[in-house]
Amino acid sequence: MSSIIDSLPPSLGKIVQRFQRATDQKRRYEQLIWYGTKLKEFPEAGKVAENKVSGCVSQVFVIATLDDGKVSFQGDSDSQLTKGLVGLLAEGLNGLTPDEITALTPDFIQETGLNVSLTPSRANGFLNIFKMMQKKAWECGNEIIST
């Protein structure tokens, strides 16, 4: 196991390992689509400007809630693959604290091998979704402090 995987939260580390075992691009895409199917239904009321991920070709929305100090994400996209990216990140980041999420670096993305499989615009979208989730987690953490 690489040191990057060792440094990841367990849920994210398992996802990275799953993608590392996928030996071809088709299998990685199938896994991404599967992660998209695991997302809960996204509320229409959440499809507002402050939840929209900028810099994505697809329409992508992300919301975060805090329960017992742990962040929970919901997301949606009009593209199956992009929805899979949201699902992958939600699966890997759900249940972490805001500090754990904001401390992560996007290096794990290269470890999945997805950066090779995705088009440059989708890889950039993945990074933008990740940054949006970090921002939402940070906002959840600041709500604790301000209340």
| Count of other CB atoms within 10 angstroms of residue 67 | 9
Catalytic residue among 16, 53, 56, 60: 56
Whether 140 is catalytic = no
Percent residues over pLDDT 90 in the chain: 68
b/e code 74-85 from CB counts within 10 Å (16+ = b): bbbbebebbbbb
pLDDT score recorded for residue 2: 58
pLDDT score recorded for residue 120: 84
pLDDT score recorded for residue 133: 98
- Over range 60-71, report the average pLDDT: 96
**Cα angle 27-62-118, degrees, rounded to a multiple of 5:** 30
Show the domains of the chain with their CATH numbers: 3-146 (3.90.1010.10)
